[in-house]
Structure 1
Amino acid sequence: MIVDQLVLDKKSSKSHYTSDKNSEKPIRSVAKAVSWRFIGTMDTLLISYLLTGKVVLAASIASIDFITKMVLYFFHERIWNKISWGKTK
């Protein structure tokens, strides 16, 4: 969205943005949370393993990290979706 606002003229970008800004449903936030947490969890797993040298401990840390941060991200995303700051009307 940011790129097309910078590249395209304001009129076509604004109409596209207006039609898109209210279309995000909670299931999209869930999908984004899961995909992002997969990437983040792989990072946590690797770092935990490098620090502890133990696969089981690293997997435990990564599992807890996956669940808690996915839930936090979901609510963060939903709250930001309700905030009108930065959206054009």
Structure 2
Amino acid sequence: METRMRTIVKAVIWNLIGLAVMALVGAFITGSVMAGGTMALINAAIGLSSYVLYERIWTRIQWGRCLG
């Protein structure tokens, strides 16, 4: 089982990677660094929250775990 802190650190690192990628894609598509950055920040906030919730739910599910 993971600690809450490990889950949060993993989520933050994953979202920083996603933030950079989304900012680049958003800037490329819109032609605006500001619009791309705004899109990336909104996406990162939603993604981080969703990921933490998702991971915490899965820590409570025993299916597929090897106990031994």
Regions of 4+ moved over 6 Å: none
Q: Does 1:50 align with 2:28?
A: yes
Secondary structure in 2 aligned to 1:84? Answer: coil
The answer to whether the aligner puts 1:72 opposite 2:55 as a matched pair is no
**2:64 maps to amino acid:** G
TM-score (norm 1): 0.72
Listed one character per residue, the Cα deviations across residues 25-80 of structure 1 (whole Å, up to 9, x for unaligned) are 11111100000000011111111011001010001001111111000000000111
Bigger radius of gyration among the two: 1
How far the C-alpha of 1:86 sits from its partner, in A, is 1.2
Q: Percent identity?
A: 33
Equivalent residue for 1:28? 6
Q: Secondary structure of the residue that 1:86 maps to in structure 2? A: coil
Give the secondary structure class of the aligned counterpart of 1:85: coil
**Which ranges in structure 1 are unaligned for 5 or more consecutive residues?**
1-21
- RMSD over equivalenced CA pairs, Å: 0.8
Runs of 5+ in structure 2 lacking a partner? none
